[in-house]
Amino acid sequence: MTRSRHRLAGSVAAVLCLVAAACSGASDPDGSVAETDERPPIILISLDTFRRDALGAEGPGGGTLTPHLDALGADSVTFTAARAQIPFTLASHMSMFTGLYPDVHGVAAEDRRLPERIATLPEILREVGYDTHGVVTNIWMKPVFGFGRGFDSYEKLDHGLTYAPRVTAQGLARLDEVLAAGGRPFLFLHYLDAHSDWKTAGNTLPYFAPEPYLQPFAGLDPADFCDAEGNCATDFMMEADAQRRSVEPQTIAAMRALYLLGIRYLDDELGLLFDALRERGLYDEALIIVVSDHGEEFREHAAFGHTQTYDECLAVPLLVKLPGNGGGGRKVDTPVQTVDLLPTVLDLIGLRPRTPVQGRSLATSLRGGGRATGPAGKPVALGQELDRPERFAFVRDGLKLIHDRSDGHTELYDLAADPGERRDLSEARPDQARALLDALLALLEENRGLREILAPEGAASFEGALTDEEIERLRALGYLR
C-alpha cells in the first residue's frame, strides 16, 4: 500500500485502498452495495474547451456572456480554482470517469483503451440502479475507448458546426424514457460548441456561432482567418503555430471574441436545457454538475488551441448543484481537480469507489465543512501537457510549478500575484521550487506504482478506433498533425 496521496471517498470517510484487489463498493460486510430510493437524479454536463474565465465574462455590448450558467451558479457551489488534468478531451474525460490521472489510466492516444479492471462512474451507477445514458459530440468520446462501458445507451452525434440543440434534444428524449418507466436517471451530456472549427463550404471562421450571435462582427472579413496557403479556421491557427508565424494582435483579439460569442450561444442553449429540467420537476431535486475538459489558449504563451500546462488550458469551470440547491451561490477557492468528480459523486450518494482512485471527494466542501485536501493535508492539483507528456504542472500553496522531466526545465509562478503566469520565479525562489518539485516527483512515482497495479501492461492497445474520415476531421480540429 502506498502513502496517503491517493484517497478513496466513501460515505463516511476517505479510505486508502491502493491494493491490487478491487475496493468494496459499500460498507456492507459482504461488499454489496446497499439499495436506496433516496439517491437523486444525476446530470453531468461537460462543456468541451470552456476556459474558466469565460464563465461570467463580459460580452461585446456589456453584461455577462453566460447568464444561464450564472443563474445555475446561484443555486450551486462554484469551485473557483478547478483544473483539468490534461488539455485533451480523450484523456481528460477518462480521468473524470475513473478518478485516475492520465499517466495511470493511460488512455491518451487513438490506439489505447481503458483496461477492464478499472471501473468507470457509469458502471458503478448502473450497478446500484441508475438508468445511464450519454450523448456526446467529440470523436475522442467514442465508446470504443472505454466511455461506453456502463451506459444503457451512449450516442455519438454526427459532426456539424453546431451541436447544442441536438445534444439537448437527444438527452431529453432519453431522460423522458427513464422517467416514463419510473427509473432513476444518470445523464451525461457533452457539448462541443465552444471548440474551434474546421474549414467547410459554410465556414472559414476559427470559432463558429449561428448568425444572430455574430452581429458584433457584422463587418468581419472571414479572409482575415485564412493564410496565403488557404489554411482557414482551425488550420489557420495550427499552421501559424507550426510555422512560428506572428499574428496581428487585433486578429488574435477577434479570434478570442469569436470564441466568447460561441460561449454565449452555448449558454443560451443550456438555458433551454435547465428550463426543460424545471418543466419535468427535476431541476431542484437533481445533482447537476457542469465542468469542462480543458480551456483554450490565444497565444498567452505563444500558442493557439489547447496543448500546454498554463492555466488558460487547465483552468476550468466546476459548478455543483446539490439536490435542494443547498449552498447555492457559495464559492470555494480551494484547488480542486476534475479527477475528483468520481469520488465526489459516489460520496454524495453514499458509495465508495470499487477500484482505486486518486481523486478526493469534495462532499465535505460542498456541504459547507472543511477543505478537501491532498498530500500532507494540502490541496493540490496535477496537470500534464498534451504534446510533451513529460511536462507536468503542480499547484500547491498558491504556487504553480511546471517541470519537464525530459530536459529538467522548471518554471515557478505565484498565482495570487501573477495569475497570468508571466513571471518565472524559479531562480528567485529556489527553495520553494525545490520543495514543489520534490512533491511532484513523489506523486509521479506513486502514479507509477498505481499504474503497475491497475494496468501493468499499460492501457490496452488496439487498432481501428478511428476511421480515415474521423482522422481527417481530428486533423482539421488541430488534434492530429
280 band by pLDDT with thresholds 50, 70 and 90? very high
Q: Which residue reads 487585433 in cell numbers?
A: 250
Which position has the higher pLDDT, 200 or 119?
119
Residue 231 lies in a domain: yes
Q: Would residue 440 count as lying in a domain? A: no
Interatomic CA distance for residues 43 and 238, integer angstroms: 34
Tell me how crowded residue 427 is: count the other CB atoms within 10 A of its CB.
9
Predicted confidence (pLDDT) at residue 8 exceeds the cutoff of 50: no
Higher pLDDT, 28 or 65: 65
- Residue 63's CB: how many other CB atoms inside 10 A? 8
| Residue 258: partners with Cβ closer than 8 Å, 6 or more residues away | 205, 206, 207, 208, 209, 214, 217
User: What are 451's three cell numbers?
Assistant: 499504474
CA dihedral 70, 84, 269, 190 (to 10 degrees): -150
When divided into structural domains, the chain yields a total of: 1
pLDDT of residue 224: 84
Is residue 316 within 8 A of residue 69, CB to CB? The reply is no
Which set of grid coordinates corresponds to residue 177? 424514457
Q: Which residue has the higher pLDDT, 438 or 159?
A: 438
Range of the domain at 184: 8-14+39-381+471-476
**Does 402 reside within a domain?**
no
Q: Which is it for strands 153-156 and 287-291: parallel, antiparallel or unpaired?
A: unpaired
Q: By C-alpha distance, which of 77, 80, 96 is closest to 334?
A: 80
The angle subtended at Cα 430 by Cα 429 and Cα 433, nearest 5°, is 90
CB distance 4 to 375 below 8 Å:
yes
> Would you place residue 11 in the very low, low, confident or very high pLDDT band (cuts 50, 70, 90)?
very low
**Residue 438 grid coordinates:** 520534490
Task: Using alpha carbons, select from 47, 292, 307, 68 the residue that is nearest to residue 192.
Answer: 47
Residue 219 to residue 212: CA distance in whole angstroms: 13
Could you give the CA distance from residue 45 to residue 341 in angstroms, rounded to a whole number? Answer: 12
Q: Rounded distance, CA 399 to CA 355, Å?
A: 31
DSSP string across 55-77: TTPBPTTSSBS-HHHHHHHHTSE
The answer to whether residue 3 sits within a structural domain is no
Q: How far, in Å, are 36, 100, 120, 365 from residue 343 at the CA level? A: 18, 10, 11, 13
Query: What is the distance between the alpha carbons of residues 95 and 88, in angstroms, rounded to a whole number?
Result: 11
Q: Are 371 and 117 in contact (CB under 8 A)?
A: no
Residues 193 and 165: beta-carbon distance below 8 Å: no
Whether 343 is in a domain gets the answer yes
Between CA 54 and CA 130 the distance in angstroms is 33
Structure letter (DSSP) for residue 196: -
Alpha-carbon torsion (279, 282, 287, 291), positive or negative: negative
pLDDT at 1: 29
- What pLDDT was estimated at residue 481? 54
**341 vs 479, higher pLDDT:** 341
Chain centroid offset of residue 407 CA: 28
The average confidence (pLDDT) of the chain is 86
Contact residues for 472 (Cβ-Cβ < 8 A; gap 6+): none
Residue pair 420/409 in contact (Cβ under 8 Å)? The answer is no
Distance in angstroms between the alpha carbons of the first and the last residue of the chain: 41
Q: How far is Cα 462 from Cα 112, in angstroms, rounded to an integer?
A: 6
* pLDDT tens digits for range 373-425: 443 346 789 999 988 999 999 999 999 999 999 999 999 999 999 999 999 99
Q: Is residue 170 included in any domain, yes or no?
A: yes
pLDDT score at 39:
95
Residue 370 has φ and ψ, to the nearest 5°, of -70, 180
Q: How confident is the model at residue 255 (pLDDT cuts 50, 70, 90)?
A: very high
CB atoms under 10 Å from CB of 230, counted, come to 11
- pLDDT at 247 exceeding the cut of 90: yes
Query: Averaged over 418-443, what is the pLDDT?
Result: 97
Residue 140 lies in a domain: yes
Flag whether 417 is in a domain.
no
pLDDT at 461: 63
Predicted confidence at residue 193, as pLDDT, reads: 93
Q: For residues 339 and 356, what is the distance between their CA atoms, to the nearest angstrom?
A: 12
Residue 86: pLDDT above 70? yes
Instruction: Give me the CATH number covering residue 98.
Output: 3.40.720.10
The pLDDT value given to residue 471: 63
Q: How far apart are CA 357 and CA 423, in angstroms?
A: 34
- Does 465 or 84 have the greater pLDDT score? 84
pLDDT digit string (tens) for 168-189?
A: 999 999 999 999 999 999 999 9
Q: Which residue has the higher pLDDT, 435 or 24?
A: 435
Most confident of 68-82, 194-208, 439-453: 68-82
Most confident of 5-14, 124-133, 202-211: 124-133
Which grid cell is 113? 483503451
CA distances for 408 relative to 149, 301, 312, 394, 440, angstroms? 39, 19, 23, 15, 13
Dist. CA 341–CA 72, nearest whole Å:
18
Cα 308 from Cα 306, distance rounded (Å): 6
Mean pLDDT of 259-263: 94
Rg of the chain over Cα atoms, rounded to whole angstroms, equals: 21
d(CA 449, CA 1): 10
Task: Give the three cell numbers for residue 202.
Answer: 459554410
